[in-house]
Amino acid sequence: MSDVGFIGLGIMGRPMAANLIAGGHTLYLYDLAPLPQQLLDKGAVGCGSGEEVARAAQIIITMVPDTPHVEAALFGPNGVAAGLSKGKIVVDMSSISPLPTKEFARRINELGCDYLDAPVSGGEVGAKQATLTIMVGGPERAFSEVKPLFELMGKNITLVGGNGDGQTTKVANQIIVALTIHAVAEALLFADKAGADPARVRQALMGGFASSRILELHGERMIKREFQPGFRIELHQKDLNLALEGARALQMSLPCTAETQQLFNMAAANGGRAWDHSGLVRALEMMANHQIGHDDSMKQPLD
């Protein structure tokens, strides 16, 4: 069993760390917030800094919100880099920009250590159930060593390519997820305003070519008005910003991504930064002057 460091114990990091402990590993934990007592009760060891985590562990995992947070965790005062020794592995499982990821990897490599970017998809439910999809960039030797840990946290684990390719894959994933949420929201809102029962429409669509996990899970959230995250709109805004910034750097256009980002922006501007990303439907409802599940007498059937 490995000594594993884990930095970042939020909505995703906490259950991921719990699954590693359940797998028999000794975990060394650090977070800016108070450490979860339930993890400490299960045998995890609290540390006072990323540097302390890196000195204690062979494999150090970071799971924090955005690119600046990763940079601070790795290279800030008392950060991970200060505690590394040759042969250790740093694994960033955050969702951040691919270009800085390559620079972070270079700096860690200069210390004689390997670096993997390994962002995840599957949300809080996938983290709790250890069914995350994990998209990995980095050297195969490090991937092989860390893969048993990945298997305690996820099911679909792929070494995509070199450093940065894991993050590029995650950005592509977030484009698809966002645009599919947008499509499901438009479809269910259209059906509801046309006078159809959106729950039955969703049930019918689940048996056809339009079926998807997003229709299944987030379509139900939209109908039941359950917008507790999940995955917050503000985090999906961040991911689509990465996509749009990357597109500008590559001199290409992502028109549908840009449109969906505007809907997230509208939802956020109306108090929805912390809504689940399925709450994008609320932006469309504002424009339609109609809410899914509104009283039937208020619905306007199509001519």
d(CA 281, CA 198): 13
pLDDT at 128: 96
Measured distance CA(202)–CA(187) in Å, rounded = 9
Which pLDDT band holds residue 295 (cuts at 50, 70, 90)? low
Confidence category of residue 1, pLDDT binned at 50, 70, 90: low
Q: What is the pLDDT of residue 123?
A: 85
What's residue 2's pLDDT?
A: 80
User: What are the pLDDT digits (tens) for 121-175?
Assistant: 988 889 999 999 999 999 999 999 999 999 999 999 999 999 999 999 999 999 9
Catalytic residues: 170
Predicted local confidence at residue 115, as pLDDT: 98
Helix axes of 198-205 and 213-224: crossing angle, nearest 10 degrees = 170
Over the stretch 75-125, which tens digit does the pLDDT of each residue have?
999 999 999 999 999 999 999 999 999 999 999 999 999 999 999 998 888
Q: Residue 87, SS3? A: coil
Cα 135 to Cα 54: distance, rounded to the nearest angstrom: 23
Average pLDDT value for the chain: 95
How many CA atoms lie less than 13 Å away from 109 in the CB half-sphere?
Answer: 14
pLDDT in tens, 219-261: 999 999 999 988 899 999 999 999 999 999 999 999 999 999 9
**Would you state the pLDDT for residue 230?**
81
Rounded CA gap, 38 and 181, in Å? 34
Residue 294 is predicted with a pLDDT of 73
Residue 226's identity, in one-letter code, is: E
